[in-house]
Amino acid sequence: MTMFPIIRRTDRILVQGLTGSQGSFWTERMLETGTQIVAGVSPKRAGETHLGLPIFASARAALAGMPVDIAVMFIPPAAVRDAALDAIEAGVRGLVVLTEHVPTHDMLTIFARAAAADCRIVGPNTAGLVTPGEAFVGIMPGHNTNVFQPGRIGVISRSGSLGTLICLNLTRAGFGQSSFIGIGGDPMIGTTTEDALRALDQDPRTDAVVLVGEIGGSMEETAATYAATMTKPVVSFIAGRAAPEGKRMGHAGAIVAGNAGSYAGKRAALEAAGVTVVDTPRVIADALSARLPIYAHDTA
């Protein structure tokens, strides 16, 4: 069985909110890459076919007639709770919550139900997951071969836009990606930086990891404890070095108070764990070449 949150071509995907404009656009892109989308959910259009896919009134109705592994949600914030619980109770083992601004009490309910059902959540406010050459779910440009190419470097990022930039730079430097995991930028998320790091560490297709962090919260410091146990090299870039103390940044989780969640604190924890921390995204490929000499020629 695939180790979610790493997505594979064999994963069977249900798209909740498939018939909306964003759901339709990104479903088409996902299908282009070979992602195995099996159905969609849209209560008002149940019984129809859209993009060649059957549309159901609920996840439970869809799973009653076909196997589904993962549900991805193109759902507005107020409707996320009911849609997520529908998918979890239907039996999906993974749920990708793209939506941001989901009410906190709704997410607490979702997390509790997911834990009881042994369902792993990525997000909320995630840009999604990509395995170049196989599949992607979400709103990352997994169909764009200028950004994503198959390779052996795993990438973790809170930010979709920053993650896209990192993958673009890696591809231009001759590095492909084994998997991209967008964990999401909200304060409470289902898959943490450490969770993603563990998944890539255990993935035989991954030789090294690029960890893209941000100021605020303590996920990078927590992940550093695990990184210290790894034999695979880890290179990291932390965004927000110049941010003033107490400044809230673009992501809901990015607020710094004293040294808690600060750039200096994160960098010190990661470097103490043996992680190479770089000052700018453009030198990540050089840092990887230094840690993985076998790839050094790729960046020439």
Helices (H), the chain: 21-32, 59-63, 77-90, 104-117, 160-172, 193-201, 219-227, 263-272, 284-291
Crossing angle of helices 193-201/219-227, nearest 10°?
30
> Are 180 and 206 in contact, with CB atoms under 8 Å apart?
no
**CB contact set of 160 (below 8 Å; sequence gap of 6+):** 126, 127, 128, 139, 140, 182
Among 50, 101, 143, 251, which one carries the catalytic annotation? Answer: 251
Q: Is 297 a catalytic residue?
A: no
Give the DSSP per-residue string, 202-242.
Answer: T-TT-SEEEEEEESSSSHHHHHHHHHTT-SS-EEEEEE-TT
Give the residue numbers annotated as catalytic, written as ranges.
251
